[in-house]
Structure 1
């Protein structure tokens, strides 16, 4: 029953989002903080169940795909998701593909409207403040207005996860430390596989 309610929620929320003509900061941030709530995000069944995508996995896949056409969406998604992943490293294993896409996304374009909305719109500032806390607030402030932010956020995420992984084998070790180590290894292998594939394509083209 709860699973079906969640599916109804994410699908209805997605329809509402895609039917908005203008991607406003406040509306995107409100969508992210309400659907991708921390109390739901730490439930593995929301991401995968019976070897099939769960409702949050479906939502995030669509969010990242739509973000390729909406820099503002991808930027706010990266802000919120990296904060959630850092708090729940055992969930990262479901999102290696999405992390790779985020790590490759970006340009040096500057979004003046984004900065203007945050400066002039109280709703925008409030909704952004409700998103998951950035792993590095200083870098967020420096890059949030640029399309490089998605890449930067992934780099910072794994830098912070490395700190957790370093505690494996120490008295402070916990399940998050082990999950951080495993997710770091898995993501590195994902990147290496992509690099090998790219080299293979280049070889065939020669």
Structure 2
């Protein structure tokens, strides 16, 4: 009986969380201003101690059965979250920064976003990668719009093109405290089945009312 009660309690919690995310998505995902992408820090040191990230290629190396989905168009050098931990009723800002490896990133590129709680997908979204590009405060010469073209510099063979992306996700008031997983996959077209542009998985903590 105790086992059945525990399972029922978990199912009710997941249903509550799912309903909260659906409500949040219906009121904000129709415009990409509620959900965008971010920039800056390193794999070792992010904003705080709870946020962790890795590329899909890093994850694939742990298990031979996992397909390597990481693209090579943008080589991610940092992924950050602000605030950390995330607060319910607020906004989770993901910040991605990477080096452009392809000659050009097409304007058709999109980012698929998926958020999971205890392995259950609660929220999905697809948005234009071009809408997420932000100015690089450390280097005003970096691209801020599409198409993203990789720089060529005959005088400096090591010159790099850095792109910064930001994504703001609304966090429901009823979201529980706990660990969530986020997956961000950049693709050249919405119909693509692989993350040719980039692929990243992250673990974040939400501080909720219960």
So what's the TM-score if we normalise by structure 1?
Answer: 0.23
More strand per residue: 1 or 2?
Answer: 2
More helix per residue: 1 or 2?
Answer: 1
Flag the structure with more relative contact order, 1 or 2, with Cα contacts below 8 A and sequence separation at least 6: 2
